[in-house]
Amino acid sequence: MDNLFEIKTRIVTFVEKYETYVKPASRFVLMLTAYLMVYFNISYYSKINVIFIPIILSVACALLPLSLGSVVLGLYTAANLYGLGIEIAGVFLALLILTYLLYFRFTRDKGMLLVLSPVANFIGVPYALPVITGLQYQPASSVGVLMGTVIFGFLKGIKANADLLLASEDLKTTKLHIAVEQIIANKEMWLILGAFFFTSVIVYFIRRLAIKNSWRIAIVSGIVVQLLIILIGKLLLGNPYGIVGLMIGSIVSGLICLIFRFFAFDLDYQRIEHVQFEDENYYYYVKAVPKVLIPVKDVKVKTFNETKVKREEGIEEEIAKEFDIDPKHLKNNKDINE
């Protein structure tokens, strides 16, 4: 176990030392994943359907704050949806505006959640984000996760109806109806939104309890409650499809949350200290739980000059021959002096 903590310390130290390079690189990987997700799934506007555009935009967004980078990503997505009709792009832009109004109201400094949420939904592990949000932030911060889920649900529905939208080029009312229906009539999406918000609230309150292993308990409780809500909801809606994926995604999300806890918050409950002090008005009883800290071993390898050793041995032999002395006596005296 100590080896794991030592590896953690090395990773954290490396990230802190090279933070100037690690942050832009991580933003580039995240944004490139999001841009390629859009490019390969909803690139309906032929004029911008060129692979180097998302790559260039990813590089640019890596140098920008994530909040601004997510705006650029949203505009790129809207431009692709324009290929299906101005009505589709218009509905998406309205959804984007609503997202940013809520974002700047509740989660202004957490732009990563807006980008991570659609990406996590796309790869099948969105269930980790509500838990991590409850562990790290307040429940209001889940707005980024919720709106990212809405955007993903909208884009998924649009992709499923792309052939119908392309076939009805002259029917603007039909396009508008289909676009709005992907948000309002998507019962499963609303079910997932409710499960995500409820999960973040539960995790938030459990991890704040003054009990041992509160973060572990919060993670397990959040994953189980979330799984049960979505599972029961899907059965009530008469949509049992995707239950296996739900199970696998929940297990993988739980492992991701445990890895996050390991790096973000790990306490040594065997070294709990109780501190008591007072001032003019109050007595204070404080329970201090130290974090797990494993010092990194500084291994130094001492090397010897082989040539120098051989030269010293040759000198000893010459002295022994000249004075008719056993070389072993010289060696023994040398060891004693050392």
pLDDT tens string 199-250: 999 999 998 888 888 888 999 999 999 999 999 999 998 888 888 888 999 9
Q: How many domains does the chain have?
A: 2
For the CA atoms of 135, 141, 145, 151, what is the dihedral angle to 10 degrees? Answer: 180
Instruction: Give domain status of residue 261, yes or no.
Output: yes
Say yes or no: 185 and 310 in one domain: no
Instruction: Give domain status of residue 89, yes or no.
Output: yes
Residues listed for the chain? 338
Instruction: Give domain status of residue 296, yes or no.
Output: no
**Domain ends where: 206, 238, 266?**
266
pLDDT for the residue 278? 67
What is the CA angle 187-254-12, rounded to 5? 125
pLDDT for the residue 75? 93
Tell me how crowded residue 215 is: count the other CB atoms within 10 A of its CB.
20
* E strand or H helix at 277: strand 273-278
Instruction: Give domain status of residue 77, yes or no.
Output: yes
Say yes or no: 310 and 256 in one domain: no
Say yes or no: 115 and 197 in one domain: yes
- Residue ranges of the chain whose pLDDT lies below 70: 1-5, 108-109, 168-173, 265-338
Say yes or no: 164 and 96 in one domain: yes
Say yes or no: 258 and 326 in one domain: no
What is the CA angle 112-76-35, rounded to 5? 55
pLDDT for the residue 270? 43
Phi-psi region of 85 (alpha: psi -120 to 50; beta: other; left: phi over 0): left
**Domain ends where: 216, 245, 266?**
266
pLDDT for the residue 210? 80
Say yes or no: 261 and 311 in one domain: no
pTM: 0.74
Instruction: Give domain status of residue 71, yes or no.
Output: yes
